[in-house]
Amino acid sequence: MGAKTWMIVSSDNQSSSKFKSYPKPNLEKTVALLNRLFPNEKLEKTDDGDLSSTCPPNDMIYAGYFEGISVVAAKEFGIDNPSKLDRRFISESPFSNTYLHAMHSVVDWFAFAKWEDGELKRSLSLSPDSGILEDIGERIEFEIPYWNGGHPAVDSDEDDEEEYPFEFHPLELGEAVLKAFFGYQLEGFVDDELIEPERITLFGFKRAKPWWKIW
């Protein structure tokens, strides 16, 4: 797997269906949202991205404000403990539900969280090397088969010298979260009913470099 994400999504309800009509983002509302989330930064409009590339470099932000849902991808969201996300990103989100999704294929790390009306309902973060970094709240229905061995990380027929530390592969659960919450996947078997994330435009913004004057 080579998928990477670090993003927050805000939605009013039924977030998994918001992208089915392939809506276009509103630039004016996107800029207004970013000004609230990053009030001390100077952002410059640059080349657009899309929903399949929500892992921008440190000097970039990808974002889109749509009808009933918004997406912001930035370095601030690739954190080990989602529950410690700066409250600004929750309080300034435009809709009642806020989600964080972050994963990095190089280290098999995955994290996600969900807030409802500002209250944290679920947060999970784990990787093979670090173990379970955070596990807060009740497991959501689609998670349970993974924890119960329904999606084993290692084929039982394979003779591996090292036992995988989890019942499942974190990135596979990460794809399941994308499917359940937002109606798409990045890798693995893709259901025909899922949207194609490459068709959902996100505006690109360049983050100004820090400037210091040396006297």
What residue segments make up the domains of the chain, in order of their start? 4-207
Structure tokens at 142: 């689609």
- Reduced to 3 states, what is the DSSP secondary structure of residue 138? coil
pTM of the predicted structure, to 2 decimals: 0.92
Q: Find the angle CA(97)-CA(99)-CA(103) to the nearest 5 degrees.
A: 175
d(CA 118, CA 92): 10
* pLDDT at site 18: 97
Give residue 210's pLDDT.
60
Q: What does the pLDDT read at residue 13?
A: 87
Residue 189's φ and ψ, nearest 5 degrees, are -65, 125
Length of the chain: 215
Residue 156 confidence (pLDDT) = 62
Per-residue pLDDT in tens (0 to 9) along the chain, 215 residues: 478 999 999 999 889 999 999 999 999 999 999 999 999 999 999 999 999 999 999 999 999 999 999 999 999 999 999 999 999 999 999 999 999 999 999 999 999 999 999 999 999 999 999 999 999 999 999 999 999 999 888 776 655 556 889 999 999 999 999 999 999 999 987 788 899 999 999 999 999 876 555 55
Cβ atoms of 125 and 82 within 8 Å: the answer is yes
Six-digit token string for 40 = 């001390």
